[in-house]
Structure 1
Amino acid sequence: MSVQYVSAAELIDSDTESTSPFPLNMWYVAALSSELQDKPLPRTLLNNHIVFFRTADGKASALEDKCCHRSLPLSLGTVEESGIRCGYHGLLFNGDGKCIEIPGQDKVPRKALVSAYFICEQDHLIWIWFGDKNNQEPTCLPPSYPVHNAPEYLFGGDVYHYDAPYQLIHDNLLDLSHLGYVHLHTIGGNAKLHMTAETKVESDEKTVRVIRHMPDSVPPPTYSLAYPFTGKIDRWQEILFKISHLEIWTGAVDAGSDSLENPNRDGFHMKGFHGITPETETTCHYIWTMSTNPKNDPKETAKKVIEQTRLTFDEDKVVIEAQYKNMQSFKHNKMLDIHVDLAPNRARRIIETCLVLNSDVLEK
């Protein structure tokens, strides 16, 4: 079977010698597994219009969201047992993008194809590969996230659309000093403590790691709701940045009851997965989950923790979209850096380096 796979490099306009504005040769988070039900899922990722669907055998697929006949978005069609059917003239395409049926016509032309994308479903997440012209096929496996399969955790999540560039969300998640101001009624706590917390930042060519400890602090509302703390707490925030996503482990133990250096520490845990995937240069998708380990009435408490998380992210969304709107209004004003910007600035340098590599590939 001839399968026509699409590469991000195919979007390059050779006349203008422009290249992708996003890092390539990597897996991005495309969707939560739970999003693929009995209907097509349209999503624009890295300027690519894509339709995702799941066939009767449970396999997830991703095609260019355009019928090869008259260009109607396939996402306006229907999902059937063996593929997705165009909602205009009924052409049926399988997961490889091959047309397998044209109503009223016995012969299906060999050119009746729709470009397919390499995707991988694991850990309750759908990953999609975007490569340059030399790496159309994946060169590695997607990142793993075993927390979603760990029996000690319960998780839930959602997908947000942001009218803001994806790196502004990176900035927000790498700088948790804002919690005391933006999230006062959920996971915030003492604002001064957040701004002065002992913070350690490490980085290499691909990752940034941030470790923040706040010993002997008052538990914020979400923590008190979910865990039977006896008084003050020793609190931690550990952030791992990768270009495709961030992993954030926050939590607390009763003050003095365990070492915050202990990787197997007890207490209340919130393990967040944050897939930040560009839609365009100025918009993005935020695909998130929160895993937690409540002690009392686990299912109901986890439900409350996830809802509190949702409220927190609602607050972030208002701030970040307002921030970007104001940045557009004051384009010529330079922004000031302060001490909390170390980790976000390192993440931006990693992305800048990747974009230079994109340009090098184009020139070759």
Structure 2
Amino acid sequence: MTTAAPQRTKAPSRFHPGGFALRDTWFPLVHTQHVGRRPLRRAIHGAPVIFWRDGARVRATEDMPDTPPQFRRQGELTGGSGDYITHERYGYTWVWYGDPRNASIDLIPQVPHLPIEGMPKRFQKTVVFDCTYELVAENLLDLTHADFLHSKLTGDSLSEDDVVEVESTSEVVTMIRTAHGRPIPDAQKAMAKGATTQNIRVVTVTHVRSGLCVLHGDFNPGMSMRMLHPCNPETATRTRTPVTYNPMYLPSIARQLFSHTSHIVGRQDNWAVRKQNANYLEAGDDRDLSSRFDKAGLRYRKLYSALVERQKSGDYSYLADGDPGRDVSEALGLNSRA
């Protein structure tokens, strides 16, 4: 039985994802190892970002490097320079989206389960979703969705107990799911050393402005899946997710190949969110329906709506409790097994 820990959450009854671009935040747009001399195009909320190497330096510009000066953009996101502010960390090139005067590397979220220099290429994959980024972030916050879409990898909903907790600041929503005595899923039986059940503790830390999700799924006995899952908003119908894995407690060959599961899992998720996105595009002023098990998604919508209202009034600041760079190691449960 799944229970939701009591916690009051009043979210907007009408939600319109894809209608507003939250600003003054960092986006990990691309795995740095994938940037070469040949330009690589990405986008944030429709704004073009062109990555290329200028010698040893990775640049992110509004235009292709061979664009004549008289035709180059001089947008507000680059302060009229044509160059976005960037920073390399955790194997990504992060791009500041917002007022360049407000950029600070202290606002880059902490990802304690990845090395600062990043993981090797074999642990990196990119998946594209046919929907707005808010729906991908919500899907990752709903840790119970895996019971239905990814049961062969993560297991079904049967367990002795199952508790969902939700925590939040003004910028971040954290969902923690703890369950005991779950049957070992097919894909993990080889790692379970003869056990028939396992305990799980699965955590998603979601940064609302950017959609960045820091995840840890601990399946004991079995794998510990440490993951960074950006939800980079390219358009209202396209989200690009350059994912990085750091799996633990797997046989060596399984650890090296695990990132290939991202395309299977991604297709399963895209099947659901693509339909959901179409429904929102046609929803008009219809009210959303929810249950008590939607607490994390409702909290996300509440924070998202509050940020939208603040930014509409010209306030792009971070409140005292909203530091994206705060230590989340304890919440992720990195130092103990489930």
**Secondary structure of residue in 2 paired with 1:197:** strand
The answer to which of 137-146 and 346-355 deviates more is: 137-146
Q: TM-score, normalised by structure 1?
A: 0.70
Asked if 1:60 is matched to 2:39, the reply is no
State the distance in 2 between where 1:352 and 1:147 align: 30
Cα distance per residue 1:213-233 (max 9 Å; x no partner): 111111213322455453321
Shift of 1:331: 4.2
Q: TM-score, normalised by structure 2?
A: 0.75
Residue in 1 aligned with 2:229? 274
**Secondary structure of residue in 1 paired with 2:214:** strand
Cα distance per residue 1:277-307 (max 9 Å; x no partner): 21123432222122101443x2x21133222
Shift of 1:146: 4.1
In structure 1, give the amino acid aligned to 2:225.
M
Structure 1 gaps of 5+ residues are 1-19, 66-73, 75-83, 92-96, 98-112, 255-266
Give every structure 1 segment of 4 or more consecutive aligned residues whose post-TM-superposition deviation is greater than 6 Å. Answer: none
State the distance in 1 between where 2:280 and 2:248 align: 39
CA contact (8 A) 2:127 2:263 kept: no
Q: Residues 216-295 of structure 1 correspond to what in structure 2 (within 5 A)?
A: 216-226=181-191, 228=193, 230-243=195-208, 244=210, 245-254=212-221, 268-295=223-250
In structure 1, give the amino acid aligned to 2:66.
R
Residue in 2 aligned with 1:40? 39
In structure 2, give the amino acid aligned to 1:291.
N
Do the aligned partners of residues 117 and 35 (structure 1) sit closer, same or farther apart at CA in structure 2, a change above 3 Å counting? same
CA contact (8 A) 2:204 2:213 kept: yes
Structure 2 gaps of 5+ residues are 1-18, 75-79, 317-338
Cα distance per residue 1:245-294 (max 9 Å; x no partner): 1111102223xxxxxxxxxxxx6210111111211234322221221014
In structure 2, give the amino acid aligned to 1:250.
G
**Secondary structure of residue in 1 paired with 2:230:** strand
Q: Residues 64-83 of structure 1 correspond to what in structure 2 (within 5 A)?
A: 64-65=62-63, 74=64
The answer to which of 348-357 and 155-164 deviates more is: 155-164
Which of residues 296, 304, 307 in structure 2 aligns to 1:354?
Answer: 307
Which of residues 154, 170, 194 in structure 2 aligns to 1:205?
Answer: 170
Asked if 1:149 is matched to 2:130, the reply is no
Residue in 1 aligned with 2:274? 321
CA RMSD of aligned residues (A): 3.0
CA contact (8 A) 2:125 2:262 kept: no
Do the aligned partners of residues 171 and 229 (structure 1) sit closer, same or farther apart at CA in structure 2, a change above 3 Å counting? farther
CA contact (8 A) 2:111 2:214 kept: no
Between 1 and 2, higher relative CO (CA 8 Å, sep ≥ 6) is seen in: 2
Do the aligned partners of residues 232 and 34 (structure 1) sit closer, same or farther apart at CA in structure 2, a change above 3 Å counting? same
CA contact (8 A) 2:149 2:268 kept: yes
Identity across matched positions, percent: 18
